[in-house]
Amino acid sequence: MTQRFDDEWQLKTRLVHGGTLRSSFGETSEALYLTQGFVYESSEAAEARFKGEEPGFIYSRYANPTIDMFEQRMCALEGAEDARATASGMAAVATALLCSLKAGDHVVAARALFGSCRWIVETLMPRYGIESTLVDGSNLEAWESAIRSNTKLFFLESPTNPTLQVCDISAIAKLADGIGARLVVDNVFATPLLQKPLELGAHVVVYSATKHIDGQGRCLGGIILSDKAWIDEHLHDYFRHTGPSLSPFNAWTLLKGLETLPLRVRQQTESAARVADYLADHPKIARVIYPGRADHPQADIVARQMKGGSTLVCLDLKGGKQAAFDFSNALKIIRISNNLGDAKSLITHPGTTTHKNLSEEARAEAGINPGTLRLSLGLEDAADLLADIERALAAV
């Protein structure tokens, strides 16, 4: 029987029980329906299901019980009416942007985007006649003056990768509402626990579930959440006919990840805040950007729209690229990897990895200096992480 979710439940309860679809065996843990298709009792039953006269599953590209549980649990978390899970975070972004746009439309996006998101806006969309303007996401006037008569969609990420810049989601949502456009927010860095874009007025939220939602480095996944009318109108057919769907196995992994999400995000955020404070006072560090600190460039917006500072810290070493490399190489617990949101603490040098394809000017504009590092805090003991950082800084 279906255990959807009870509006009365608090978040942590929703993350354990929301969306559960229990089979006749009464299993405790969610079942993994690793199946492509479904059989029908009769040809009449198949006909009725295809006509939509009878509920039920047809094919796993359209929907699958395990994927459905993951989508429903995410709706319960986000406070969204409906959702569609995708094979990766990029499938979620590409689908959310392209499903409702057509040639002749115009998009306004924050310049500080995850590399592949920027490629979709700057390189892919123009091939299909969709124009775009990239703006400084923290400058509200820049958003406003980029609006054209054919602007249909706004797109941003907040906090941004890797410099943790913050955009004013409710103010930008109001601008979108004013012209009948939609605001799509990539909420990966904030996690669904520390920021609720739909409550702030955004129309669509996308996640790379690969990050905190799995949170244990196992599988890729993504999800798009919005109101039912938008999903029915723009996503339903696009999804069925282009096939970005999540695998049931990955949906099951992500579903189990959601059960522990609040515990993990809380501990990782506490560690990030401690590490940010430690680094800010260190003589070899030129700059620390952490949304939980009073010296964050948009601290007032952070206070209004976020419940915590995130699990990531952006730092700059005084000695530039060589110092950043020496520091990263000297770390023993924190490993060098471009991933984030994992149980394992990970550090990356964006200038030579995730953001290497940007021109030097574009990198400088995004605040990525030769000494910039992005640190994703994991679940290790914070004292061990601080000791690792202290020892590695001494080696620089």
**Restricting to residues 140-159, which ones interact with ligand PLP according to CB under 6 A?**
157
By C-beta, is 205 or 323 nearer to ligand PLP? 205
Binding ligand PLP by CB under 6 A: which of 72, 95, 165, 208? 208
Cα separation values, 190 from 106, 217, 318, 327, 340, Å: 27, 18, 27, 26, 12
Structure tokens, 184: 């799509």
Instruction: Provide the residue count of the chain.
Output: 396
Complex with ligand PLP: residue 111 or 211, whichever CB lies closer: 211
In whole angstroms, the minimum distance from the beta carbon of 78 to ligand PLP comes to 16
Q: Which amino acid is at 374?
A: R
Q: What is the DSSP string of 41-80?
A: SSHHHHHHHHHTSS----BTTT--HHHHHHHHHHHHHHT-
Chain residues 78-107 in contact with ligand PLP, contact rule CB under 6 A: 88-90, 93
Tell me which stretch binds ligand PLP (CB under 6 A): 50-58, 168-176, 185-193, 381-389.
185-193
| Residue 214 in the binding site for ligand PLP (CB under 6 A) | no
Question: H or E element: which one contains 249?
Answer: helix 248-280
Report if residue 220 touches ligand PLP, rule: CB under 6 A. Answer: yes
CA distances from 374 to 4, 351, 370 (A): 38, 10, 12
Nearer to ligand PLP, 105 or 157 (CB): 157
CA atoms of 340 and 99, how far apart (whole Å): 27
Nearer to ligand PLP, 143 or 189 (CB): 189
Cα 396 to Cα 284: distance, rounded to the nearest angstrom: 8
Contact 363, 321 (CB under 8 A): no
Q: Does 114 bind ligand PLP (CB under 6 A)?
A: yes
Cβ-based nearer residue to ligand PLP, 37 or 243: 243
- Which stretch, 58-66, 182-190, 224-232, 388-396, contacts ligand PLP (CB under 6 A)? 182-190
Q: Is 265 in the site for ligand PLP (CB under 6 A)?
A: no
Q: Which residue is at the shortest CB distance from ligand PLP?
A: 89
Q: Which element (helix H / strand E) includes 137?
A: none
Query: Which of residues 20, 95, 132, 210 is near ligand PLP by CB under 6 A?
Result: 210
Interface segment toward ligand PLP; rule CB under 6 A; list 59-67, 205-213, 311-319, 330-338 = 205-213
Give 90 or 285: the residue with its C-beta nearer to ligand PLP.
Answer: 90
The footprint of ligand PLP on this chain (CB under 6 A) covers a number of residues equal to 16
59 forms bridges with which residues in the sheet? Answer: 37
Radius of gyration of the chain (CA): 22
Distance between CA atoms of residues 155 and 93, nearest Å = 10
Beta strands at 335-336 and 346-348: parallel, antiparallel or unpaired: parallel
Contact with ligand PLP (CB under 6 A): which of 18, 222, 370, 371?
222
Of 121-129, 181-189, 238-246, 363-371, which segment contacts ligand PLP by CB under 6 A? 181-189
Residues of this chain that bind ligand PLP (CB under 6 A): 88-90, 93, 114, 117, 157, 161, 186, 188-189, 208, 210-211, 220, 222
